[in-house]
């Protein structure tokens, strides 16, 4: 499966959802996750993310391993998103900021 990692938090560009052939992105208040039970590993979403937040589960950057479980957990309660929407107005300011996990809203 592919995994949305920390840098999506507060950036949430949503370009990723447009290319997914199986609609496995789920949306929360300031983050998106991939449902690991639906993802078919097509790889299409990875290059679409302007924040470079998407990785295959076996190639997660150091420190991002916990996002595998976070994606699985939150995909169960968050609704599916299939259409791109406007990113937060301050998305660019947050892109690349370390330690964003504390701001993850559930
Ligand atoms: Fe969807 Fe493909 Fe990305 Fe999996 S790898 S989330 S199937 S676009
Ligand atoms: Fe997040 Fe990147 Fe998608 S910032 S919403 S994973 S395009």
pTM score, whole prediction: 0.98
Nearest ligand 2 atom to alpha carbon 32: 5
- Calculate mean pLDDT across residues 16-25: 98
Q: What per-residue confidence (pLDDT) applies to 47? A: 98
Task: State if residue 45 touches ligand 1 by the CB under 6 angstroms criterion.
Answer: yes
Pairing state of beta strands 32-34 and 2-4?
unpaired
Q: Considering the chain, what percentage of its residues have pLDDT values greater than 90?
A: 100
DSSP string of 91-103?
A: HHHHTT-S-GGGG
Q: Which pLDDT belongs to residue 6?
A: 98
- The structure tokens listed for 27 are 């949306």
ipTM of the complex: 0.99
Q: Whose CA is nearest to atom 8 of ligand 1?
A: 20
Q: Around Cβ 27, how many Cβ atoms within 10 Å?
A: 18
Spatial separation of the C-alpha atoms in residues 62 and 76, rounded to whole Å: 25
């Amino acid at each position: 499966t592919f995994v949305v990692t920390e840098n999506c938090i507060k950036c949430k560009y949503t370009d990723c959802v447009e290319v997914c052939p199986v609609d496995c992105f789920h949306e929360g208040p300031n983050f998106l996750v991939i449902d690991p039970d639906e993802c078919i590993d097509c790889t299409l979403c990875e290059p679409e993310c302007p924040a470079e937040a998407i990785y295959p589960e076996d190639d997660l950057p150091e420190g991002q391993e916990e996002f595998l479980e976070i994606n699985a957990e939150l995909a169960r309660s968050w609704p599916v998103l299939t259409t791109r929407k406007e990113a937060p107005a301050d998305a660019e300011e947050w892109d690349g900021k370390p330690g964003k996990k504390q701001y993850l809203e559930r």
